[in-house]
Structure 1
């Protein structure tokens, strides 16, 4: 095998292309947008996750713990801004302490450096925080993930990789003598193997390639505020709540960025378009697909009330959003925050309404499809790339 086509120019696709190139393969990268890292990679919180939350032994646990080291090493080697600053996960109510204890046990099982601390110790890190107990996680960091992608593009370009922007995949078929043929708007790319890292469109690309994927992408938008410049001093680093273990989202949190700004969020609401960064971003096709999917209705039946409704209310109410932040830092008020932007999470869902809670990678002859790679995929990108490169070699 000599030629591989990678679909998707986010951090996972670019990392896969780099790993395959390092192994001596000829690679073509197809990205439908006019720039790299245009969607999930370019709209996330830029946090290097430690591997705290994930089931021991899962892809997410193993790859995020290893990725925490490898992505920081990569950034430092290639001059990408990064800071390992640690974070606090705080229980704001006695009822959350059992879940916090479970997180501490999971951290130990996953090999994540973390320790339980008292409220007084928590305030040594974050003087304005309110909690009854906290978990200090030392290896969490902040990074410029779009900058990582820029570095990868430079490396790929220097290695002579065929990098193609404005190249949407329109059709895929098996080659007449093996491998695959991928039609874009301008060309037909022939390759020995295909790697699908199309993120928000990964299930559609899989179907173009003849697969029946085991899960469907349902887009969820996460909306952010940020603290006004004069109120940034309320937060020194990263402050997270104890997450609801039944949901894939970590809850509204506060994150100091590399430039000193403090981002607050995200909430989680159903997006009305796969790339729907605002309520007015609407696609009849995308909404119809979700409405026709049994899993979406089963999920709605389980979570619409009160969880889903609360998220929608918070989307429209700055006051509610500020109140969620004030649970962590009581000094934060509605007057202290301004809207910042949003991102869309490509969440894979099964027909029974269950959310895929681990990375999901499926294979076919001469094909590897990354069908679920939300957070912590950016942290884990280099590790995911190694895993996929192994699968390409085996296929």
Structure 2
């Protein structure tokens, strides 16, 4: 890559989560010598979605065959385990059970098995007696065993991607302004008053990606509506050997309350998904009027609420009532009591919602002059971060070639 005077980097990446750092890593791997600057508003990497999930390396069984989610998750799961092994990052391939506890769920369970095989995932269908072979305390009518699911430390992965990329990482760099001009490139202004100039901009801002798109002068066509995922920790982790999931409702992108044994041996229970009152609203006490006003002003938020209020009411009830949450867990793990569950840190999911209230289900990547926007990267984004990063990097490098910089 030939150097262009007057620029801080060839590519500026906004966002130091796992997708932004994977993009930086992929750019420098694909085009050595490319100068990449990553701007992250927090004092370190992976402080939000990446570092606040259950650490599951998803197999890809849930996702529509041919979708970006399916393709990237299946490929990304294998690559993530290999990456962790190469760099000595804590991980384990534990397998998981998806358990049907009611007869009405059996057709959906079988459909998941079919979908998994279409995606090239080894799936074993189990009857009720066979569940105990994997999880002695779990009860259900039938289950799927998915051997390729695992867990890892995604925060450690993000740190390693930052180091291995060779990119310049600027922490504490909150973006407040973007000036994009066809003949002069992109100038990004931070809250501290610094200006970073680059030929191409990549927006991987996660919870703030739609705001960053508008700063660049682009209408994303969606808004990020934040949903808080509330977790408990299981005080008797010996009740669960690995990962246990319910059969998900296909109408929603959430997988339901599940049990996850992490790499530290502890078991997380959740998440329970409720609307957050701020984009970084990790508790009911966190309210940012500007964020809430933005959510309420978006027509899609109201359409979503009208369409799915019953589902949302159930989530709210489990959020406000520990007995209700415990009852949801007991469907899978009857031995659990309220005393076994203690509050654990929550996460917030950046869910893109269309104007008509549709929950954007797949990854959403859009391009504009000199710019690539990642506008929806929900679960399994961490699992799929390596192939997602390569795709975003490819588009960024194409944009560089388009403005006359050879890659």
State the TM-score, normalized to the length of structure 1.
Answer: 0.97
User: Which one of the candidate residues 82, 92, 98 is aligned to 2:91?
Assistant: 82
Deviation readout 1:358-388 (Å, 9 max, x if unpaired): 0000001110000000100000000001111
Partner residue in 2 for 1:385: 389
Q: CA deviation at 1:179?
A: 2.0
Partner residue in 2 for 1:181: 187
Counterpart check, 1:4 vs 2:8 = no
Counterpart check, 1:171 vs 2:180 = no
Deviation readout 1:121-142 (Å, 9 max, x if unpaired): 1110000111111000000000
Question: Structure 1 CA distance, aligned partners of 2:189 and 2:368?
Answer: 19
Q: CA deviation at 1:391?
A: 0.9
> After the TM superposition, which parts of structure 1 deviate over 6 Å for at least 4 consecutive aligned residues?
none
Partner residue in 2 for 1:237: 242
Q: Is the 8 A contact 2:27 2:397 kept in 1?
A: no
Q: CA deviation at 1:176?
A: 6.7
Partner residue in 1 for 2:372: 368
Partner residue in 2 for 1:72: 81
Question: Structure 1 CA distance, aligned partners of 2:255 and 2:185?
Answer: 40
Aligned Cα root-mean-square deviation (Å): 1.0
Question: Structure 2 CA distance, aligned partners of 1:335 and 1:176?
Answer: 61
SS at match of 2:396: helix
Partner residue in 2 for 1:300: 305
SS at match of 1:266: strand
Gaps of at least 5 residues in structure 2 are: 3-9, 400-407
Q: Is the 8 A contact 1:50 1:64 kept in 2?
A: yes
Question: Structure 2 CA distance, aligned partners of 1:193 and 1:71?
Answer: 27
Gaps of at least 5 residues in structure 1 are: none
Question: Structure 2 CA distance, aligned partners of 1:151 and 1:390?
Answer: 21
Q: CA deviation at 1:149?
A: 1.1
Q: CA deviation at 1:154?
A: 2.3
Equivalent residues, number:
389
Partner residue in 1 for 2:218: 211
Partner residue in 2 for 1:45: 54
State the TM-score, normalized to the length of structure 2.
Answer: 0.94
Question: Structure 2 CA distance, aligned partners of 1:176 and 1:102?
Answer: 49
SS at match of 1:314: helix
SS at match of 1:35: coil
Deviation readout 1:64-121 (Å, 9 max, x if unpaired): 0000011111111011001001000000011100000110011011111112111111
Deviation readout 1:151-174 (Å, 9 max, x if unpaired): 122223xx3x21100001111112
Deviation readout 1:322-342 (Å, 9 max, x if unpaired): 111100011111111111110
